[in-house]
Chains A and B, each alone.
Chain A
Amino acid sequence: MSDVEEAITRAHHDEWARVVAALTRRFGDLDIAEEAAAEAFTTAVERWRADGLPPNPGAWLTTTANRKAIDRIRRENKRDDKHKEAQMLHDNTPPEPLGAIDDDRLRLIFTCCHPALAVEARVALTLRMVGGLTVPEIARAFLVQGSTMEQRITRAKAKIKAARIPYRMPSADDLPARVSGVLAVLFLVFNEGYLASGPDTDPVRHDLTTEAIRLTRLIRALLPQDGEVAGLLALMLLTEARRPARVSAGGELVALDEQDRGAWDAALIAEGHRLVRERLAAAAAGVAPGRYQILAAINAVHTSARDMRDTDWSQVLALYDQLVRLDRSPIIALNRAIAVAELDGPEVALAIVDRLAEALAGYHAYHATRADLLRRLGQSQQSRAAYDRAIELAGNTGETAYLTRRRDQLQ
């Protein structure tokens, strides 16, 4: 890649959200902001290739995008409303101070993740407006038609406008709930990347996990005091660190006990552990940890161990016990049972898992967990039936391959 191409990619990563956010504040319209930002980047590709890089690419992009937005407003207002046009042109609102909590990008994120929007719309809008992914890229990531994704984003922007979803920081008492809404969106993006669905999809979608981490880093930079933001970032880093060992050369998912731990990304693990230690210190000082912090701590235990047997399972179980008190979801109870199996044996764990039958009958991991416990108890026939059900329900190609091999290894 040439220097200019590299600079354009970097500028897109670093500046897209900033440009869209600043334009949205100035013009009060996501459509105008999105279109003008896209035009500015297209112009940058042409101009930077021809004339070389401007001294300050970020400022160049903001100025160009502003001009594009004003051009569009002028075109649209040509027939009427000269007065409004003049007002727009003379908007002297000072730019928001950089680095402060009231960064424009935070407003953009909170607007895109507003609870009044459908969850799929929040995900799509966040990836488009904050992440700068193109509509076809987002459509591919979620295995829907480009036109469907386009419609989803258009409808979300229309609701923001019609219902007047505000472009501002949530009030202090709404902040924790709204931040947790943003984190849920980012976790969804990450999980879709980490366990991609669809028969023709790679088992791990590196593009989505990377994007989710990038956006979570951004939130972390903007809200450095928030424990759950740190927790989610740590959780993502410690999960992503295992990615190199998670899929075999044949495209099969590799379970934790069979992973080559030497292939884990040591730098990501170190960064994740640093964040977990920071949160442990806060917890010791009396700040109760939320679910992402606890999940991160569980992953820190796993990534500190040399192998399965070296894992501090009583620590893992203690953390799950803490998590169950916060989150009564049967999926958490299922994961807790896996730790129970390591400490108290598969029989005790199976009794716990069987109690979740009703809630998790349609969840592939429930059947996969049962299959493994039954296998360890020597109940091959029942184990095979559970593997069959898990394979039927699993949407991930690598996981299907893994489950099929385990089933076929049964005596």
Chain B
Amino acid sequence: MQYLVSVIDDKSNPGSTDRQPAISAFNERLIAEGYWVFAGGLADTDAATVIDNRGEQAVVSDGPFVESKEYLAGVWVWEVPDLDVALKLAAEASKVCDRKIEVRPFQ
């Protein structure tokens, strides 16, 4: 079972910026235990571009699809047996990243 694990940051109250070594160590563990599928930190939402080509021609707009105080700062994809395992790892991830984590199953 695969889960998308999103790291949520808060613009008005951001998590600490010195987490990279801890995150790397956590990733090593995820790989060693066979849970790791993918991981990536994201650039600032200012760097996002939205494209909508459902109409006559593509409309390109600057910025994320929704402006909010909280935003997606990075993602993992984990392969784990069930939600309990995912939540347990996510609880650790939240500490490691010093940020909130959302766990969402793939279909």
State which residues 164-200 of A face B: CB under 8 Å: 164-166, 170-171, 174
Return the contact of A162 from the options B87, B88, B105 (Cβ within 8 A). B105
Q: CA A115 – CA B1 in complex, angstroms?
A: 19
Interchain CB contact under 8 A, A163 and B83 = yes
* A116 CB within 8 Å of chain B: yes
Which of B81, B83, B107 contacts A116, CB < 8 Å?
B83
- Chain A residues with Cβ below 8 Å from B88 are 174
| Contacts A162-B105, A163-B105, A164-B105; A170 near B83 (Cβ below 8 A) | no
Within 8 A of A (CB), among B55-86: 81-84
| Distance of A29 from chain B, by nearest CB (Å) | 15
Contact partners of A163 in chain B: CB under 8 A: 83, 103-105
Return A33 CB to nearest CB of chain B, in Å. Answer: 18
A159 to chain B, nearest CB (A): 9
The CA of A171 and the CA of B88, in the complex, are separated in Å by 11
Is B87 a contact of A166 with CB atoms below 8 Å?
A: no
Whether the Cβ atoms of A166 and B84 lie closer than 8 Å is yes
Cα A174 to Cα B82 with chains together (Å): 15
Look across to chain A and name the residue whose beta carbon is closest to the beta carbon of B106. A162
In the complex formed, the residue of A with least CB distance to B105 is A163
Interface size class, chain A: 10 to 19
Residues of A within 8 Å of B104, CB to CB, are 163
In which size bucket is the chain B interface? 10 to 19
Query: Is A166 within 8 A of B82, CB to CB?
Result: yes
B contact residues around A164 at 8 Å (CB): 1, 82-83, 105
C-beta contact mask, B86-103 vs A, less than 8 Å → 1, else 0?
011000000000000001
Per-position binary interface string of chain A over residues 111-125, scored 1 when its CB falls under 8 Å from any chain B CB and 0 otherwise: 000111000000000
CA A174 – CA B87 in complex, angstroms?
11
Given contacts A162-B105, A165-B82, contact A116 B87 (CB under 8 A): yes
Q: Which residue of A lies closest to B3 (CB)?
A: A163
CB proximity of A116 to chain B, nearest CB, Å? 6
Chain A residues with CB below 8 A from B1, complex form: 164
With CB as the reference atom, state the residue of chain A lying closest to B81: A166
A138-163 at interface with B (beta carbon < 8 Å): 162-163
Complex-state Cα separation, A343 to B82, whole angstroms: 53
Cα A174 to Cα B81 with chains together (Å): 17
Distance between Cα atoms of A171 and B81 in the complex (Å): 14
When C-beta atoms are compared, the residue in chain A nearest to B84 turns out to be: A166
B75 to chain A, nearest CB (A): 17
Q: Is the CB of A170 within 8 A of B105?
A: no
> Complex Cα distance A384/B21, Å?
62
Which chain B positions have C-beta within 8 A of A171? 84
**A241 smallest CB distance to B (angstroms):** 38
Closest-by-CB residue of A relative to B107 is A162
Closest CB of chain A to B82's CB: distance in Å? 4
Interface centre among B81, B83, B104, B105 (most CB of A within 10 A): B83
The CA-CA distance from A165 to B83 in the complex, in Å, is 5
Q: How far does the Cβ of B64 sit from chain A's closest Cβ, in whole Å?
A: 26
Q: Can you name the residue of chain A whose Cβ is closest to the Cβ of B85?
A: A166
Q: Please name all residues of chain B whose beta carbon is closer than 8 Å to the beta carbon of A115 when the two chains form the complex.
A: 87
Q: How far is the CB of B101 from chain A (nearest CB, A)?
A: 13
Nearest CB of chain B from residue A185's CB, rounded to whole Å: 18
B107 cross-chain contacts in A, Cβ below 8 A = 162
A162-B103 Cα distance, complex, nearest whole Å: 12
Chain B residues, Cβ within 8 Å of A114:
83
The CA-CA distance from A271 to B37 in the complex, in Å, is 54
Q: Give Cα distance in the complex from A116 to B88, angstroms.
A: 12
Q: Can you report 7 residue pairs joining A to B where beta carbons are below 8 Å apart? A: A115-B87, A162-B107, A163-B83, A163-B103, A165-B82, A165-B84, A166-B82
Per CB-CB distance, the 7 closest pairs between chain A and chain B, nearest first, are: A166-B82, A164-B82, A163-B105, A163-B83, A165-B83, A164-B1, A166-B84
Given A114-B83, A163-B105, A166-B81; 15 other pairs, CB 8 A cutoff: A115-B87, A116-B83, A116-B87, A162-B105, A163-B103, A164-B82, A164-B83, A165-B82, A165-B83, A165-B84, A166-B82, A166-B83, A166-B84, A171-B84, A174-B84
